[in-house]
Structure 1
Amino acid sequence: MAKLRLPAPDERAALLRDAQRMKMTRSAHAYVRGSTAKFYEWLQASGGKIPQGPSVWICGDCHSGNLGPVASAGGEVAVQIRDLDQTVIGNPAHDLIRLGLSLATAARGSNLPGVTTALMVERLVEGYEAGLAGETLAPDEDTAPKEVRRVLKRSLHRRWKDLARERIIDPRPTIPLGKRFWPLSEAERAALEGLAADEGLRKLVTGLRHRPGDAPIAVLDGAYWMKGCSSLGRLRYALLVGVAGDGGGTETVLIDIKEATPAAAPSAPGAKMPADNARRVVAGARALSPFLGRRMLAGKLNRRPVVIRELTPQDLKLDIEHLSREEALRAAHYLALVVGRAHARQMDPDTKAAWRAELARNRATKLDAPFWLWSAIVELIQSHEAAYLDHCRRYALQPGAA
């Protein structure tokens, strides 16, 4: 068998661009997940059809794959928003529309009829309003889709070896180079070791409940990480770190280091956010997803802003792809409830009441949801499906693409 040739640092950009394009050809839902900029191009051209909600931190890229179980520093697990690259202080209606587009695309990919999509939009609004009202997120059989219950159950039983086998294949403290992990340049290795020597990273790693707060850490291995879809092309690194435990042994920790770039999501007029993109991401995460946000750190790598976080075995994403009618309705309600709670924790009672009143306005007699939300989702499905087919024509049909 021929040995896999690993790309040099100056060869990465073209490979990452091609990988991103091919990932987006897999399905219309995959295209939606990877085309955040197109969503906001539509929004800019929508001519003010969307009401202006209260200015709060929003996810900015609120598709179903960006929600899932995350662990707190104290070991609790809950479903929260898990990717905050696009977070800004903005209009919460944008998260609601983007989540609706994601779920509607998944429903169409599951060959569900249009009436199911209409019912999903109703359940989306119902769940979001319940989240604003403070309804709990208990994943019981009556409210949560099977995928949420399955992933939560799996999350609660996972250990380091499961994370290692999933992310780096081998539970030993090395990163095997191959299709996902690529070799570092000497300059990159030195920069990562310098980052690991920072006291902030040591405190982040030792901040989990079971680790001594004064424990030293040591870099075990590092690699460039070919990971994600819309983020492909940014700096992305995996770092294995050893941290001394109470019993004298060493625990292995996997650190994800991702470049923070300007958000495509528009911010609210006059919004005051950190100018540094990594600090913006961390601030948004702490507002929207406290379990994750308190495990994140803003840093610099060769003067470029990066977001640093430890990956725990409990951190998983939801894979909402193939749905039955009942599961589609449950998914819409439950995921919107998660988003509603994330927005609500930033609002005082009067602000919440005013936003709920706005959501109750302009509802059609045959659809218990704001007409602007339904029409936005319909327009976005049309534009994204056409763009997806054109994307496939341009990239999936290239020689060697299969």
Structure 2
Amino acid sequence: MIDIATEIASFNTGREPERLAMKYQLMRTSPFVFLRGTCHLFYHRLPHGSVLEAAPPVWICGDLHLENFGSYKADNGLVYFDMNDFDEACLAPSLFELIRLLTSVLVGAADLHVSRAEALALCHTAVDAYAAALSVGKARWIEEETSQGMVRDLFDALRKSSRVDLLNRRTELKGKKRVLRVDGKKALPVSDKARAEVTAFMDEFASHQDSPEFYRVIDVARRIAGTGSLGVDRYVMLVEGKGSPDGNYLLDLKQALPSSVSPRVKTKQPGWGTEAERVVAIQRRSQAVSQAFLHAVAFRQQPYVLRSLQPSEDRVALSDWDGKLPRLEAVVNNMAELSAWAQLRSGGRQGSAIADELIAFGCRKDWQMPLVELAVQCEAQVIDDWKAYCAAYDSGAFGTLGAAAKTQKA
């Protein structure tokens, strides 16, 4: 029997209190947000001996859900739509990835105003799309020319936007110089000590790059992003880029922690130099083209991942499906296909299944229905866990915010 409050508090021990409090508060809002914030708990709850463990071993991002996809600018200058978070990445049976995506569809149905029947239909079509993509055996990708529906809408919006628009949303102009907008929503102030440490780190990093002046730090703030990783040490940096003020760039520096998925699988994991090397290596082999500025680095003698900032505005607005299920179905199918393509692309690396094995698995028909049935079980477990979490949160088990919520509710 798991004590939800103890399990969650124990997992988040050591995280920065201010952003951790934000995480706890967000997780109280809905089962879907709770699911996003408790990847460790989800995999801890998966039943042993299920259909999952018979699937071939592949590289997974580890935290596949509806909000873990978005557009990003790659190091070749083009924009792609793909999985965008590899913090939990590891070697695992392929269906460990898909079960979390299906569960997120079921748990997120209420937030998306999708009926039960529609959510189940989305799960079945996603499974079909994943199996079909595997059976073809060729890794593809999604860019503007190959996008459709709501993903195409995202690309259309991005085409009308620019990097300057992103800078204007995230920074303020003071004369001819930009500074980060510290609004408590996307960014928090940073101490003088941390600012100096980040700046010194970037100066050292820049000294080994072809254009060191590009990485000259103009401003630093603590970044607020995601749900599961809130509280992890993370910074947004405004750097000189191609020249101030409109040529500036935004970079993300985030501490890399151990995968919470790998202890829950029987698959033997390869040795990694650092957790950041694990994250970056799996992201590079899974995405068609790597995200810009992606590096595994050491900061404060700890592993961190450095990359271009990927704003939340670059995600598909799933709520805009306008009551037309085929629009939502196309996006969810794309997500399932992207998972399959990543597994094919990274196949045969350090113990992962080769393409022939994945093709054969995609052609099998014995795992699809059991997988959807398991997703329904997982959905029920997530909702039960969320209710237990809400009770603990409202009783003050997670600090003053919990007590305040209970008082306000009363």
For normalisation by structure 1, the TM-score amounts to: 0.82
1:238 equivalent in structure 2: 236
User: What is the rounded CA distance, in whole Å, between the counterparts of 1:78 and 1:244 in structure 2?
Assistant: 22
Work out whether 1:151 is the aligned partner of 2:154.
yes
Q: CA deviation at 1:70?
A: 1.2
Three-state SS of the structure 2 residue aligned to 1:97 is: helix
Q: Secondary structure at the match of 1:70?
A: strand
**234, 257, 277: which one aligns with 2:253:** 257
Please state whether the residue corresponding to 1:173 is helix, strand or coil.
Answer: strand
* Structure 2 CA distance for partners of 1:30 and 1:169, relative to 1, 3 Å: farther
SS of residue paired to 1:89: strand
The farther-off stretch of 33-42 and 249-258 is 249-258
Kindly state the Cα deviation for residue 137 of structure 1 after the two structures are TM-superposed: 5.0
Corresponding residue of 1:318: 316
C-alpha distance in 2 between matches for 1:139 and 1:255: 22
Q: Which residue of 1 aligns with 2:216?
A: 218
Matched, 1:28 2:34: no
How far apart in 1 are the matches of 2:261 and 2:198?
A: 30
Distance 2:245 2:23 in 1: 40
Counterparts of 1:10-21 in structure 2 under 5 Å?
13-21=16-24
Q: Equivalent residue of 1:184, what SS? A: coil
Q: Deviations over 1:2-29 (max 9, x none)?
A: xxxxxxxxx9833222210111122222
Q: Residues 256 and 270 (structure 1 numbering): CA distance in 2 closer, same or farther, change over 3 Å? A: same
Larger mean CA deviation between 376-385 and 235-244 belongs to: 235-244
Mark the runs of 5 or more structure 1 residues left unpaired by the alignment: 1-10, 207-212, 364-368
CA spacing shift, 1:80–1:143, aligned 2, 3 Å = closer
Give the match for residue 61 of structure 1. 63
**Identity across matched positions, percent:** 22
Judge conservation of contact 1:29–1:105 (CA < 8 Å) in 2: yes
Once the two structures are overlaid, the 10-residue window that deviates more, 123-132 or 61-70, is: 123-132
Give the alignment of 1:104-143 within 5 angstroms: 104-132=106-134, 133=136, 134=138
* C-alpha distance in structure 1 between counterparts of 2:78 and 2:370, whole Å: 37
Matched residue count = 375
The 8 Å contact of residues 106 and 320 in structure 1, kept in 2 or not, is answered as: no
Structure 1 partner of 2:4: none
Query: Among residues 159, 164, 180, which one is paired with 1:175 in the alignment?
Result: 180
RMSD: 3.2
User: How has the CA–CA distance of structure 1 residues 386 and 72 changed in structure 2, closer, same or farther, with 3 Å as cutoff?
Assistant: same
**Is it true that 1:392 corresponds to 2:390 in the alignment?**
yes
Deviates more, 1:28-37 or 1:159-168: 159-168
Q: Gaps (5+ residues) in structure 2? A: 1-13, 396-401
Q: What is aligned with 1:39?
A: 42
Using the TM superposition, give the Cα deviation of residue 322 of structure 1 relative to its aligned residue in structure 2, in angstroms.
6.5
Question: What does residue 80 of structure 2 align with?
Answer: 78
Task: Please give the alpha-carbon distance, in whole angstroms, between the structure 2 residues aligned to 1:379 and 1:201.
Answer: 53
- Could you say which residue in structure 2 is the equivalent of 1:6? none
AA aligned opposite 1:186:
D
Is 1:272 the counterpart of 2:293? The answer is no
Map Cα deviations across residues 276-310 of structure 1 (whole Å, 9 max, x no partner): 11111100110112434463111111111110112
Residues 275 and 55 from structure 1, CA distance in 2 versus in 1: closer, same or farther, beyond 3 angstroms?
Answer: farther
Distance 2:311 2:387 in 1: 36
In 2, Cα distance between the equivalents of 1:104 and 1:142?
A: 27
Three-state SS of the structure 1 residue aligned to 2:53 is coil
C-alpha deviation, 1:143, in angstroms: 8.0
Q: Which residue of 2 aligns with 1:94?
A: 96
Cα 1:374–1:168 change in 2 (3 A) is same
Displacement of 1:321:
4.5
**1:130 to 1:273, Cα distance in 2 relative to 1, 3 A:** farther
Does the 8 Å contact 1:121/1:374 carry over to 2?
A: yes
State the alpha-carbon separation in 2 of the partners of residues 174 and 326 from structure 1: 43
C-alpha distance after superposition, 1:317-337 (max 9, x if no partner): 234346533333222211111
Deviation of 1:100 (Å): 1.0
What amino acid maps onto 2:28 in structure 1?
Answer: T
Larger displacement relative to structure 2 (307-316 or 339-348): 307-316
Cα distance in 1 between the residues matched to 2:292 and 2:207: 13
Distance (Å, rounded) in 2 between the aligned partners of 1:140 and 1:309: 22
**Cα contact 2:80–2:143 (8 A) shared by 1:** no
Q: 2:191: which partner in 1? A: 185
The answer as to whether partners of 2:72 and 2:81 remain within 8 angstroms in 1 is yes
Q: Which amino acid aligns with 1:81?
A: M
Distance 1:251 1:36 in 2: 37
Q: Retained in 2: the 8 A contact 1:260–1:277?
A: yes
Q: Secondary structure at the match of 2:314?
A: coil
